[in-house]
Structure 1
Amino acid sequence: MRTVRAVTVTPGVPDSLRLTDEWPEPATEEGAILVQSLAVGICGTDHEIIAGAYGEAPPGQERLVLGHEALGRVLEDPTGTLQAGDLVAGIVRHPDPLPCPNCAVGEWDMCRNGQYTEHGIKALPGFARDRWRVQPKFAVGLDPVLAPVGMLLEPASVVAKAWDHIDRIGARAEWQPQSVLVTGAGPIGLLAALLATQRGLSVHVLDRNTTGPKPDLVRSLGATYHTSPVGELDFEPDVVVECTGAPAVVLDAMCKVGPTGVVCLTGVSSGGRTIDFDAGALNRALVLENNVVFGSVNANRRHWDLAAAALARADQSWLNSLITRRVPVDRYAEAYATGGEDIKVVLDFAG
């Protein structure tokens, strides 16, 4: 029986991360398209799964293959959807087996009953293996120019969804946004800033780092980098994309946005912390200024396609600069170890 290398964990068991070279070849039931893995991006969700805080193995299995930020090259596609040699990414979330109203129409990012599955996270094997399979409707072909950076498509899809919903909410009235504040300069924040510049907005990014690559990455977009608290900024943004999940920053963002403004929360707070604040004053401001605060997570096929187009239009050298470490798969433990100034770490399967 042919086998592949795979990075796996036992969900719920801290520090059970392992590389095996005896993982079964992906079964055709996983999808008609066979893909050679090139690279897998690593994010905070992976670290939470490794810590035992999250994750669910496929039914009947004890271990879960990690990896949801995929980049691969098609080996074979009998359906004709893609051609051998095409770059491809796999959509992470799949709709539930008995779909809720949203999953039934392809809006699985808005699943109402929580029975969705996710590659490398929840009940579906991930992409951190030499070869994987994908169904045609969950395969996203990429422009060849994205060969070095295509694993950024998954976080970019999250940002594309956020902007899609910001645009839809803004369309409730005559709305001509001029400025956006992005809080947090991690991968999601930087990609949010990228898509904001592609919209022609005046972009401001706030992060606490004063050294490292983040300030220069922001400035090279033509955006302004801030390190002061949100409340000390001398302008009221029309849009805030909050990417830290830090409770104090979240509240400051709600208070800082301008009239008829939109605050999109993409950062996930850990909970367990309380902050003393004037909820009545916040409520008054949101109501009297017609402001909207909403949460956004995951993405559906439309957003993946939007993200692929946005990345293809971007400065490829800038995108490449987001990747601060590329680690060969045989040194997988180094890849999953956190680094102080890392932005995006990539596990390299291409050798």
Structure 2
Amino acid sequence: MRAVTVKPGVANSLSLVEDQPEPAPEEGAVLVEALAVGICGTDHEIIAGEYGEAPPGEDRLIIGHESLGRVLEDPTGTLQPGELVAGIVRHPDPVPCPNCAVGEWDMCRNGQFTEHGIKGLPGFARDRWRIEPRYAVRLEPALARVGVLLEPTSVVAKAWDHIERIGHRAEWQPQTVLVTGAGPIGLLAALLATQRGLAVHVLDRATSGPKPELVAALGASYHTVPVNDLPFEPDVVLECTGAPTVVIDVMCKAAPTGIVCLAGVSSGGRIIDFDAGALNRALVLENNVVFGSVNANERHWSMAAQALSRADQSWLESLLTRRVPVERYAEAYTAEPGDIKVVLEFGG
């Protein structure tokens, strides 16, 4: 069996193992044939040796956390052979913490969670993988070409879930949404915003390529000007770049009672001179909220599956800018200009 692996903490240790053992029954009752694995910035950071944790007793980690597969067998009867599924990435910690104990493992408080392809669990970039039925999310057959987008969609589904929960602290009638960054997360965040009937604006540096057209196809507005030059104050901001200056600017730009969701991860190491007192004053006097959001739980994965089913399938397929067979794995993990979402394809 083939598997794409790294040695955690060792830069550029990516390799395709041709004789990987079959997944152990202990990994889960459901046996799945891999169809595709999406690639994101997390994978590149693991390949660079920045983080990643192999399963206990192993020195290599099978990567890949954005999955799409077809069920081969499920002796529990929960799933049927041939059904499309994606594997939930994060599993609750063994203690468990109060959040993990009630299924909110995306909000784990003690950090002892595990994650497929990232932290302590083998990933999905292998010909076959196993998972417990509760962590397998069904997908409609119509999503066979684009179902690999379920994991990143679950991330923004969670972001929207929390935005709406916060919004209902008072009478809440949002009209305008700003999404900063037109990568996969930003575009999917914009998709879910348009599905809510909101006026959507997307800001990105790209002036050419597919991003402006993808935004226009959603009926949203595309901008390349600095945040401070935008002619409106958004009720909701989803910050998906992690760029420190953009993070600060959107917090200052939000409308009164506005909500800013930080979904991009900053690299750190950059010091910015700004007036923290003025920012504090604005947040307090305008009743604004700024919060961070990462990962997703089972509820959000189900919400994401519904959102993908409602979306224009040709638009979703346009996000998948490169499909690379597993035999050419090195190409898939090498970024190219114009990439939005690169997919590593397996047989089947």
TM over 0.5, yes or no?
Answer: yes
In 2, Cα distance between the equivalents of 1:276 and 1:27?
Answer: 52
Report deviation, 1:180. Answer: 0.1
Question: Of residues 261, 276, 283 in structure 2, which corresponds to 1:264?
Answer: 261
Structure 2 residue identity aligned to 1:84: P
Q: In structure 1, what is the equivalent of residue 76 of structure 2?
A: 79
Deviations 1:151-206 (A, max 9, x none): 10000000000000000000000010001000000000000000000000000000
Q: In structure 2, what is the equivalent of residue 336 of structure 1?
A: 333
Deviations 1:211-265 (A, max 9, x none): 1100000000000000000000000000000000000000000000000000000
- Give the count of matched residue pairs: 348
1:31 aligns with 2:37: no
Report deviation, 1:324. Answer: 0.4
Report deviation, 1:310. Answer: 0.2
Secondary structure at 1:145's aligned position in 2? helix
Q: In structure 1, what is the equivalent of residue 221 of structure 2?
A: 224
In 1, Cα distance between the equivalents of 2:347 and 2:2?
Answer: 12
Q: Could you list the runs of 5+ residues in structure 2 that have no partner in the other structure?
A: none
1:192 aligns with 2:199: no
Secondary structure at 1:55's aligned position in 2? coil
Q: In structure 1, what is the equivalent of residue 210 of structure 2?
A: 213
Report deviation, 1:21. Answer: 1.1
Question: Of residues 277, 280, 285 in structure 1, which corresponds to 2:282?
Answer: 285
Question: Of residues 143, 148, 155 in structure 1, which corresponds to 2:145?
Answer: 148
In 2, Cα distance between the equivalents of 1:172 and 1:350?
Answer: 49
Question: Of residues 113, 118, 137 in structure 2, which corresponds to 1:116?
Answer: 113
Report deviation, 1:80. Answer: 1.2
In 1, Cα distance between the equivalents of 2:94 and 2:275?
Answer: 44
Deviations 1:319-345 (A, max 9, x none): 000000000000000000011110000
Question: Of residues 294, 298, 305 in structure 2, which corresponds to 1:297?
Answer: 294
In 1, Cα distance between the equivalents of 2:177 and 2:117?
Answer: 33
TM-score, reference length from structure 1: 0.99
Report deviation, 1:266. Answer: 0.3
Question: Of residues 7, 11, 20 in structure 2, which corresponds to 1:10?
Answer: 7
Question: Of residues 79, 93, 98 in structure 2, which corresponds to 1:96?
Answer: 93
Q: In structure 2, what is the equivalent of residue 65 of structure 1?
A: 62
In 1, Cα distance between the equivalents of 2:208 and 2:347?
Answer: 32
Report deviation, 1:350. Answer: 2.4
Question: Of residues 159, 164, 167 in structure 1, which corresponds to 2:164?
Answer: 167
Structure 1 residue identity aligned to 2:59: E
Report deviation, 1:82. Answer: 1.0
In 2, Cα distance between the equivalents of 1:119 and 1:46?
Answer: 12
Q: CA RMSD in A?
A: 0.5
Question: Of residues 128, 131, 134 in structure 2, which corresponds to 1:131?
Answer: 128
Structure 2 residue identity aligned to 1:322: L
Q: In structure 1, what is the equivalent of residue 102 of structure 2?
A: 105
Question: Of residues 145, 155, 165 in structure 2, which corresponds to 1:158?
Answer: 155
Q: In structure 2, what is the equivalent of residue 320 of structure 1?
A: 317
Q: In structure 1, what is the equivalent of residue 42 of structure 2?
A: 45
TM-score, reference length from structure 2: 1.00
Secondary structure at 1:24's aligned position in 2? coil
**Identical aligned pairs, as a percentage?**
79
In 1, Cα distance between the equivalents of 2:175 and 2:42?
Answer: 33
In 1, Cα distance between the equivalents of 2:170 and 2:57?
Answer: 51
Deviations 1:131-160 (A, max 9, x none): 000101100000111100111000000000
Q: Which runs of 4+ in 1 moved over 4 A?
A: none
